[in-house]
Amino acid sequence: MKEKTDVLQGTLALMALKTLDVLGPLHGYGIARRIEQISGDLLTVNQGTLYPVLLKLEQEGSIASEWGVSENNRKARFYRLTRDGRKQLQAETRGWEQTAAIIGRFFAAKAEDLK
């Protein structure tokens, strides 16, 4: 069994927001699929876990949803990013980049740098 990486609380939400930002309105399955593809199967998460996250985002006003028809003519619920959501995404992206940069610098540091 491949080692799973636990999804940090809130990370899934950020991934969902980014997916919607890049791809525009999408249904739940589509979002799940993209997250899976991009994380390259390193991140194994039950797809169902996504739905409570979507509901939470919707309640916070970051995304909105409505019933529509999918590319293969199925009825599906489509989610799209709202203005608030876009702002939230930008803010959180900056936050992540900073964190990642800091952690990265730590990993790059050699013993002599820390003296």
Check: CB of residue 88 under 8 Å from CB of residue 54. no
Instruction: Give min distance, CB of 51 to other proteins, in A.
Output: 6
* 37, 48 Cβ separation under 8 angstroms: no
Residues in the site for other proteins, rule: CB under 8 A? 27-30, 32, 46-49, 51-52, 55-56, 58-61, 70, 72, 74-77
Give the residue with the Cβ less far from other proteins, 19 or 28.
28
4 or 105: CB nearest other proteins: 4
Dist CA 100 CA 81 (whole Å): 25
**Considering the complex, what minimum distance in angstroms separates the CB of residue 34 from other proteins?**
13
- Polymer length of the chain: 115
Q: Cβ closer to other proteins: 18 or 27?
A: 27
In which element (H, E) is residue 62 found? none
